[in-house]
Amino acid sequence: MALIELAQVNYLYRTDELETRALNQVSMALQAGDYVAISGPSGCGKSTLLSVLGLLENPSSGSYRLNDRETIGLTANERARVRNLEIGFVFQAFHLLADLNVLDNVSLPLKYRRILSKAECRARAEQALERVGLSHRAKHAPGQLSGGQQQRVAIARAIAGAPKLLLADEPTGNLDSATGEDVMNLLQSLNEGGMTIVLVTHEARFAARAKNELRMHDGELRDAGVGAESASLGT
């Protein structure tokens, strides 16, 4: 059973005078444990595809099954719950709250589950920080950290809830080359531990580190012809 199944997904942006097709008949399947990089020029639909995968946007048409559950037609509250329980997000911007320390930033999404006690939220956050090598920074404010450290905190926040799927949208975009390598090493380590990752990047050297690379062009998803051991394109 595939973790992700997209079938003929379209996404249209509409204004009064213009209709833009951001995704055009996109089909793909990912198994648990896959690590897929999606690359392509600016404006080709990469981030829109990630927003659909993360249940931040509803496709205009098509089917999206996550963990064998059809997501099209879910209410806003149902989508939010699935996001909180099953999907982790890492963005180019770190989106850390300046008035919370590192530990509280990581534990905040867990508190919305309401089924976890305060102690459980704290324990999971501490474990996530340990996993990214920043447990010694738990009481620091985000502003006291380097850019690479802040991105590691963002990754810890994304994985603290043990999501089935981690979506990373240009996670090295605000980092220098060496720090970007460190973040990519961390993502690779997480994948080797069994986490399913979809990475959007414009960096060819980072895309090449995934098990499979797909390319987008004008809203269409294409096999890049490398590492085709895991993800597959639908027909």
pLDDT digits (tens, 9 = 90+) for 51-64: 999 999 999 999 99
Q: In what order do the strands lie in the sheet with 196-200?
A: 87-90, 165-169, 196-200, 35-39, 212-217, 220-223
The stretch 85-96 carries a mean pLDDT of: 94
Is pLDDT at 43 greater than 90 in this prediction?
Answer: no
pLDDT for 229 equals 42
Q: Where are the domains of the chain?
A: 4-233
Pairwise CA distance, residues 209 & 202, whole Å: 13
Pairwise CA distance, residues 235 & 233, whole Å: 7
pLDDT band at 80 (very low <50, low <70, confident <90, very high): very high
| Segment 214-234, tens digit of pLDDT | 999 999 998 754 433 445 665
Pairwise CA distance, residues 110 & 117, whole Å: 9
pLDDT for 113 equals 81
Per the listing, tokens 């981690």 go with 166
Which is more confident, 226 or 114?
Answer: 114
| Segment 169-192, tens digit of pLDDT | 999 998 999 999 999 999 999 999
Angstrom CA distances, 120 to 20, 44, 51, stand at 45, 41, 29
pLDDT for 231 equals 55
The stretch 70-99 carries a mean pLDDT of: 94
The H-or-E segment that residue 67 falls in is: none
Is pLDDT at 66 greater than 60 in this prediction?
Answer: yes
Pairwise CA distance, residues 29 & 133, whole Å: 32
pLDDT for 16 equals 75
pLDDT for 1 equals 73
pLDDT for 172 equals 93
Per the listing, tokens 């949208």 go with 169
Q: Is 135 helix (H, G, I), strand (E, B) or coil?
A: helix
pLDDT for 210 equals 95
pLDDT for 157 equals 96
| Segment 123-159, tens digit of pLDDT | 999 999 999 999 999 999 999 999 999 999 999 999 9
Pairwise CA distance, residues 200 & 193, whole Å: 20
| AA letter at 5 | E
Q: Which residues, other chains included, contact 221 with Cβ-Cβ below 8 Å and sequence gap of 6+?
A: 26, 27, 28, 38, 49, 214, 215, 233
The stretch 17-24 carries a mean pLDDT of: 89
Whole-number percent of the chain with pLDDT over 70: 95
According to CATH, what is the number of the domain 4-233? 3.40.50.300
How is residue 56 written in tokens? 């931040």
